[in-house]
Structure 1
Amino acid sequence: MVIREAKATDWPAIWAFFQPIVTAGETFTYPVDLGKEEGSEWWLLPAPARTVVAVDDAGKVVGTAKMNRNHLGNASHIASASFMVDPAFEGGGVGRALCAHTMEWARAAGFRSMQFNAVVETNERAVGLYRSLGFEVLGTLPEGFHHPRHGYVGLHIMYCAL
């Protein structure tokens, strides 16, 4: 697997798994009816932010991450990131590689920490992955997310010093 900068021409391959993940409404705070063009604008971030794709040996896009400054001004030393993995490739280390990549990017860019603002508490795979990479739950907004199957569940704020 190779992680490289995302290009506009990667968007159709990203959209193929981005759209069903967003439509499912289980892990992202995006509108479930988010359109393809608007989704591209939200995901393919301009510099100094960065969007990458994970590509398998056959050249297939199997995951993606976007990384950016989480806050402005006197809190601009805090980074954030978001991740999506093609469900056909879950459990194969794609998410771990993408998360580690974003952490390396943030360190190299001089960020002091990373903060994930809205990790759905029922997304146990993501919570476990982030914890294994050194993130901790700082707090949980009770009933901050209306999950389509579980009803109102918490949203974790997760943090890792870099």
Structure 2
Amino acid sequence: MTVIRLCEETDWPAVWPLLRATFETGDTYAFSPQSTEAEIHAAWMEAPRATYVVREGGTDDGRVLGTYFIKPNQPGLGSHVCNCGYVVAPEAQGQGLASAMCEHSQREAITMGFLAMQFNLVVSTNERAVRLWKKLGFEVVATLPGAFRHQRLGLVDAFVMFKTLG
């Protein structure tokens, strides 16, 4: 059993290694592979409206299986659209966790008053994520040619994906 709950500062020591390992690959997120713990903490824990964690067994001592954040995509007049970022532990991939977190984030976004959700930089070569987001009702509304500097493949396209909520 897994439970998605608000991430607390006490979760950070277990969340950080997962984020570091994901960002170091340089193939799905725009964070620099050399990002420091302080930089990622600020981006993942401090800047968002809320951050969530999934722990194995739903207990505080269970292994971290995933995490996501939710925040306004833009300030002021664009703040009714939210943005989220999701990370699933490699050993938990393919078990429906990303789907569960995305569905959870949509419910949370509606509760927070957001009207839509936008993913600003979905790497085109991350076919698994693109397929999942489409399955969950997101549309590619723009292609950004060469907008992502993939660590192995060089410049690749990125998508802006959007979904109206509720």
So what's the TM-score if we normalise by structure 2?
0.93
**Quick one: distance in 2 between partners of 1:157 and 1:39?**
22
Q: What do residues 38-75 of structure 1 show as CA deviations (whole Å, max 9, x unaligned)?
A: 2111111367x000001111622100000011112222
Query: Once superposed, which parts of structure 1, at least 4 consecutive aligned residues long, lie more than 6 Å away?
Result: none
Structure 1 unaligned spans of 5+: none
Matched, 1:78 2:81: yes
Q: Is the 8 A contact 1:78 1:111 kept in 2?
A: yes
Sequence identity (%): 38
Query: In 2, distance between residues paired with 1:30 and 1:39?
Result: 8
Distance in 1 (CA, whole Å) between partners of 2:108 and 2:94 is 23
Which residue identity is paired with 1:52? Y
**Bigger Cα displacement from structure 2, 24-33 vs 67-76:** 67-76
Number of aligned residues: 161
Q: Distance in 2 between matches of 1:74 and 1:111?
A: 12
State the partner residue of 2:70.
67
CA RMSD of aligned residues (A): 1.2
Structure 2 unaligned residues grouped into runs of 5+: none
Structure 1 residue 19: Cα displacement:
0.6
